Chain A
Amino acid sequence: MQIENALAIFGINDDVTFDQLERRYAELLEKYSAKRYENSALKDIAYKKLNEVQKAYEIIKSHAQNKQDKYLFSYHNRGFNRYPYSYYYRRQPDCGCPDCGDLCTACACIWATDTCCECAGGDCI
């Protein structure tokens, strides 16, 4: 079984934490548990599914890069630090990047751009 198929069985992408994986695993175990399908005619198929889930779990575990890390094998390990959306929309002044200081700097930037543009014959605002 490929790692992609294993992730598809779990219904997760490769950017989740270990906690989320464990939680999902417990959920699936309960969903296909033998106790639930005790009196059903679909007992055999449920058993097959359960085995599949267990196999997929082993594969995902073995592929996870650094077990100490919070994330399984995410973009964080590929040098791409994606931050949550809330940071993006509400940048604080002390976010560390040089571009967004305060409102004054931003206004000055806009003014400078507009002047440059008008000098060149355009009209951006």
Chain B
Amino acid sequence: MFGYVKPFKDEMKIKEWDEFRRFYCGICVSLSKKNWISKFFMTYDAVFFSILLAAINQEEHVQNKKICFFTLSKVRYFDSKSIDYATNSFLLLLKYKLLDDYADEKKILRKFLANFFPKKLNIFTESFQEKVRILLSKLNEIEKNNSKDLDEGAKVFGELTGLFFEDKGKTEDERIILKHLGESLGMWVYLIDAFDDLEKDVKKNAYNPFVSAFGYGGEDVNEFKDRIRPMVREKLYSLLNEVVLSYDLLDVIKHKGILDNIIYLGLFNETERVLAGKRICRRL
């Protein structure tokens, strides 16, 4: 839900880039069919998820054309089951996140936006939705309690992503691999997002796992970042290693170029960017 899982464009082939754009537009179109407002919350993570599902299920896509009002040009987009599933899981997470934020900070706008979401996301069973709700409230509690453990929040968030990944495996082995992949990727996303938002959180006095785990004592934020950077780098790379190991065991034939690019180059590139504290200077 944060937009850190994206390809490294410089190393991509043009045909892979075109395919990626079609997935991206497919997600956007699929979102706007279900709920127009959620379009503005869209991230690259959902795109990666849909490509991974399409690669595992070896799906054939239907390609359509449409005039896009944001870019004012004709776009080609894919339409398939995996894109639909990725959209639905994204919406489910977004809805509960908005409601959670409302309960937390009493922002009326969040509640207002959440009202627009479809009441039932049919493809998920009630027990699955219940699991998601429990995990999100657990996460909320950890943030409220100001937990000193670095891994505690990350693990819960990893479990959450693992839940969505695991659901789509065909064989038993594949489910285990996908779950492991989802868990480590979720932990990585949670921690990298926390490091990226460190300054903001210190200013707002909000919860951040690094602040409580490494004992931030009112010094300059940049000094604090310099101090913890080696530990954070080690942690992030150990999680990325798990991601790569589990991805290597998957049988990916279709869209291999894009997925390889994201897993082997995009994630490492993003880690280095966030650790160096650089902002994104151009649109992907």
Contact = CB atoms under 8 A, between A and B. Distances in A.
A48 B245 contact: no
B176 A40 contact: no
Nearest to A31: B248
B3 to A, nearest CB: 27
Contacts of B176: 42, 45
B152 interface: no
Contacts of A37: 245
A4 B269 CA distance: 37
Given A31-B248, A42-B249, A48 B242 contact: no
Interface residues of B, number: 9
Contacts of B177: 42, 45
A54 to B, nearest CB: 16
B173 interface: yes
Interface in B169-195: 173, 176-177, 180
A110 to B, nearest CB: 37
A41 B180 contact: yes
Interface string A29-49: 001100011001110011011
A87 to B, nearest CB: 26
B246 interface: yes
A36 B173 contact: no
Contacts of B245: 36-37, 40, 42, 46
B241 to A, nearest CB: 9
Contacts of A42: 176-177, 180, 245-246, 249
Interface string B220-243: 000000000000000000000010
A1 B246 CA distance: 25
A96 to B, nearest CB: 37
Contacts of A32: 248-249
Contacts of B249: 32, 42, 45-46, 49
Interface string B232-275: 00000000001001101100000000000000000000000000
B256 to A, nearest CB: 9
A36 B249 CA distance: 12
Contacts of A40: 242, 245-246
A70 to B, nearest CB: 28
A45 B174 CA distance: 9
A44 B172 CA distance: 13
Nearest to B238: A39
A80 B31 CA distance: 52
Nearest to B242: A40
A31 B246 CA distance: 11
B248 A45 contact: no
Contacts of B242: 40
A40 B246 CA distance: 9
Contacts of A46: 245, 249
Interface in B18-61: none
Nearest to A9: B251
Given A32-B248, A45-B249, 6 more contacts: A40-B242, A40-B246, A42-B176, A45-B173, A45-B176, A46-B249
Please list the 10 inter-chain residue pairs (A to B) with the smallest Cβ-Cβ separation, ordered nearest first: A45-B173, A40-B245, A45-B249, A31-B248, A42-B246, A42-B180, A42-B249, A41-B180, A46-B249, A49-B249
9 contacts: A36-B245, A40-B245, A40-B246, A42-B177, A42-B180, A45-B173, A45-B176, A46-B245, A49-B249
